[in-house]
Structure 1
Amino acid sequence: MNPPKLRAALALGAAASVVALSAPAAAASPAGIVWEDTCQAGYQCGHLDVPLSYQDPSAGTASIAVGRLPATDQAHKLGTIFYNPGGPGASGRYAPALTPFLHAHFDIVGIDPRGVGASSKIHCFTDPSQLEVLQRALGTFPLTRDAEQQQITDTRTVTDLCEQNAGPLANHLSTGTIARDLDRLRAAFGEPKLRFYGKSYGTYLGETYANLFPGRVGTLALDAVDDPARWATGAGPMSYRLQGYEDGPRAIQSFLDACAARCDFGYGAVLDRLAAGPVTVTDTAGKQVVVTYQSAIAQIHDYLTDAQAAPQLAAFLTALADPASHRVPAAAGGPPDVDSLLGGGATLCSDAANPRDPAVWWDYARRADQVGRGFGPYDVYKTLPCATWDVSDTGRYTGPWNRPTAPILLLANRQGDLETPYAGAQRAEKQPANAHLLTLDTYGHGSRGKSACVDAWLDRYFVTGSVPARGTVCAPDRGPFD
């Protein structure tokens, strides 16, 4: 399991791992990339112009922003790894180091997909006041029929504004088109085959690339795996088909088991109290916060994406159970990039078959709620805009998903992943004949950086292409409260 080439590369990596993230080392200049003067420290930034439509070359161009994190050991560099963090709608331009070894021996190129970040974007709103309806429409779900009708109305207002203002780019944002951009970038950086690490939505991008360009697959590590067939096709809302909510009960039970000796609240009782009406709590910054059933589910969902957030989740639930004596963690983060968020929405709605009647979401949400309380409707209503947003892309790819390729490494967490459920990763492993699933025995979203075992396999895979035996399970480095 440790061939000579890997041993030599690992020895080089051990020496290079002490190199700090400082000024970028010299690296070859890719063809067609226009480099920019302004960039985050340690990175090199540029952009590549690509066709707006690969089916209609006369339609114009789009700009794709990239950021290169150079290998710290340029003298022994082994190539380039491309990176996507998920979404759709998330910026990936400033890629992480992935692992110390990979950072030493590979340039890591992060990308803002078209529609996102510093790449060409759509702009749905012409007045800041229009953002109020966006806040009401997205990231929540209705509890009553009246609230359902209001959410449908608000969502339609948002999608109408996008249809009026977004321009032609909105109809060229499918993952099939983004995968073709990725192939242009591969060629621009002089890579004969693609090395790629994608997380979450990035796995769907990798799966699409592998089936559009099977002969150009080098090493694809897909972490927190989406089921591509259910993403693209099937009955009902796409967010119902993917069934992330099914992992909700398992993830929350894993958390509660780890929390048993230190937590003094009843999870079901907390949800019952919130279902009866909002609870006002004080956060650790001293601010009064009104927590609704919907906002609590969203926050619990977010905490469950990382087992290391267990102490924060425990504090949150304890404060909801006894707001007079405990405080909730203060919210962090700045305002969202609305244009990128809606660009990602256009990607999702272009990719996936969805009903055109927004009224059917109610019944699907009720069904999902029976499986994963709260998480079901929270998931299902994420795709409500696709009912009324008329976007389509002639570059859309819907399968097949079983083209022969070089070995592909899949990573997933078996104790529950509410974004990309473990069952979806198991189904994805069976679609291409050469995909191999490496399992991490924890809950949360994504496996890289949580286990020395997983990271060692990533190092080995990107150097040699070797994959673990089917059924291999890694242990996390730490438990939820360690």
Structure 2
Amino acid sequence: MSRSSRRALRPVAAALTASALVLSGCSGGSGNGSSSSSSEVGSQPSGGSSSASGSASASGTAASTAGLQKFYDQKLTWSNCDGVQCAKLTVPIDYANPSGQTIQLAISKVPAKGKAKGSLVVNPGGPGASGYDYGAAADMIVTPTIRESYDVIGFDPRGVGRSAPITCVSDAEMDTMLGVDPTPDDKAEETSVQAEVGKFAQACKDKAGPLLAHVSTVEVAKDVDILRAALGRDKLDYLGFSYGTFIGSTYADLFPKNVGRLVLDGVVPPDVTSEEMNLGQATGFEQATRSYVEDCIAKGNCYLGSTVDAAMKRISDFLKQLDANPLPISGQGPVTKFTEGWATLGLALGFYSRDSWPGLTEALKSAMAGDPNQLMAMANQYAARQPNGAYADNSMQSFYAVSCLDRKASSNLADYEKSAVEFAKQAPTWGRMLAWGSLTCGEWKVPATGKEQPVKAQDAGPILVIGNTRDPATPLAFAQRLAKELAHGRLLTYDADGHTAYGKSECVNSAVDAYLLNGTLPPEGQMC
């Protein structure tokens, strides 16, 4: 995740960018509609004290609850798991067939330090990041004020971590995916990359089973409503970061009358297309890189050069050199070449937080001198990868499974060639690689079920939306967009570098805490 105080929890919990994942889909998916989502409006079954009724959303989607009573009637049985409380929640694989196969979701709880006023469900992003682990680290992810008053609830979404994890390829094969050329230069290279990501997509279809078609964000949001009921809550109180905002806004679309207090920090709008997502991140990372370079020059004797343009060119030239001639590297398991793909992973990590800039400087300076070990260590940290080549979880693989269901993408190489030219005009350093960001989803073997359309959530209460002025992964324009689309959205802006805001600013913390505890929104137009 991106918040510096939570660095020990692994940055993969931040929005996993298309650039950092080389030829991935995008950091979120459409929150509206799915082949397993019925258009029937049904009455919401109760769970515990829950009695709210489901209704059609403003965008026309409706969450059908037909046949789901047994799931809504669940009572969570808590056990002690490594110092936190844990439980399992049963949900159907296919909501269109609730009497069919089921899976269990891993749920964590850290009880409030004082008298609990409710349960705060949290999600760190991804898709693919462990919400279970995130919630278990409650002391590092919310303020002491919120810890005093809320039980903090985390969950691994379907297909992720401890919740029926989707695994398609071996660790060594995942290495190949992450190291693949993100900026193919000619037809031969384009075809080679297309074949490589196609192999991964086919492996997922062959090995992941029926769940592969049912890990969309719509289905995750439906799981969240069952979780709300199992927690005995009429309304969902929720804190979502990055892709977690996609889950939250999707939930508001499907279950507007069940919305309590939702905080969406670092926004992925449900109506953004794959191309818009990729271009937004290209310009976002370009801006973040320029901010880093400007800071380097302002401090004097910048290793990259004496002007912003010269420094930006040096970074671009370094990536081009790696593309043509990868650096040798040892002690990294099967990985013996430090490629442009691995370099972009390390660079992307460095731009998620301003606090990472000193480490990025040392790593990039060493890599430019021929020693890529520090930059590879940053790439490993981003990918939850050990130096021996073992991955700590399935976050890199489940990312694609969710993203490629949520948004359609082209398989036509000509489309990517055109975007590469157009993106490079606005983002010379990051544009070309981000332009190819959706090719994996273009090759996906399970049809996308998501629909890019706005969320209004007319029947929901006020929703707090937060955006950073210089967020590389989820640009401010995305937060502004969602806040306008929501019937009762309120935008809070944080003037800062880095990804997401809560936990980084006393001004932001105070505004979020006041909203969660008292329902008090920040003034219109407030900037921290």
**Residue 150 (1) aligns with residue 205 (2):** no
1:332-411 matches, within 5 Å, as: 333=381, 334=386, 335-336=390-391, 339-392=394-447, 396=450, 398-404=452-458, 405-411=460-466
1:249 shift after superposition: 2.7
Give the whole-Å Cα distance in 1 for the aligned partners of 2:186 and 2:359: 30
Matched residues in 1 for 2:106 and 2:151: separation? 16
- Find the residue that maps to 2:522 and give its secondary structure: coil
Instruction: Give the length in aligned residue pairs.
Output: 433
- The alpha carbon displacement at 1:316 in A equals 2.8
Report the residue type matching 1:85 in the other structure: P
Q: Write the distance in 1 (CA, Å) between the matches of 2:199 and 2:212.
A: 17
Q: C-alpha separation between the residues in 2 aligned to 1:65 and 1:238?
A: 33
Name the residue aligned to 1:250. 287
Distance 2:495 2:186 in 1: 38
Q: State the match for 2:9 in structure 1.
A: none
Q: How far off is 1:466 after superposition? A: 1.5
Work out whether 1:422 is the aligned partner of 2:488.
no
Deviation of 1:217 (Å): 1.0
SS at match of 2:457: coil
Residues 186-225 of structure 1 correspond to what in structure 2 (within 5 A)?
186-225=228-267
Q: Secondary structure at the match of 1:442?
A: strand
Unaligned runs of 5+ in 1: 1-27, 475-482
Does residue 83 (structure 1) correspond to residue 122 (structure 2)? The answer is yes
2:125 aligned counterpart, secondary structure: coil
The aligned counterpart of 1:111 is 155
Q: Measure, in 2, the Cα distance between the counterparts of 1:252 and 1:167.
A: 40
Pairs within 5 Å for 1:36-47:
37=79, 39-41=81-83, 43-47=84-88
Structure 1 CA distance for aligned equivalents of residues 432 and 485 of structure 2: 28
From 278, 296, 300, give the equivalent of 1:259.
296
Report deviation, 1:72: 1.1
Q: Root-mean-square deviation (CA), in Å?
A: 3.1
Question: Greater relative contact order (Cα 8 A, min sep 6): structure 1 or 2?
Answer: 2
Q: Name the CA shift for 1:310/1:393 in 2 (closer, same or farther; >3 Å).
A: closer
* Alpha carbons 2:271, 2:453 under 8 Å: kept: yes
Does structure 2 conserve the Cα–Cα contact (< 8 Å) formed by 1:281 and 1:320?
Answer: no
Cα distance in 2 between the residues matched to 1:155 and 1:148: 11
2:28 counterpart residue number = none
Amino acid at match of 1:437: L
- Decide which moves more: 362-371 or 460-469: 362-371
Alpha-carbon separation, structure 2, partners of 1:403 and 1:457: 22
Hey, what's the Cα distance between the residues in 2 that align with 1:298 and 1:327?
12
> Deviations 1:29-57 (Å, cap 9, x if unpaired)?
9973554656232x111110012122222
Residue 281 to residue 458, structure 1, CA distance change in 2 (3 Å): farther
Q: Deviations over 1:232-286 (max 9, x none)?
A: xxxx64643x621112232222222322214232322232244244475999x9x
Task: Give, in whole Å, the separation in 2 of the partners of 1:281 and 1:452.
Answer: 44
Distance 1:281 1:167, change over 3 A: closer
Report the TM-score when normalising by structure 2.
0.75
User: Any conservation in 1 of the 2:156–2:162 contact (CA below 8 Å)?
Assistant: yes
Which digits, 9 at most, give the CA deviation of each residue in 1:408-456, with x for residues without a partner?
Answer: 1111110x22211111111111101311111111111111111111111
2:500 is the counterpart of 1:456: no
Distance 1:297 1:135 in 2: 10
After superposition, the C-alpha distances for 1:7-30 in whole angstroms (9 at most, x for unaligned) are xxxxxxxxxxxxxxxxxxxxx999
1:134 matched residue in structure 2: 177
Structure 2 gaps of 5+ residues are 1-47, 50-71, 306-310
Task: Confirm whether residue 442 of structure 1 aligns to residue 496 of structure 2.
Answer: yes
Q: SS at 2:492's partner residue?
A: strand
| Partner Cα distance (1:202, 1:161) in 2 | 27
Identity rate of aligned residues, in percent?
Answer: 31
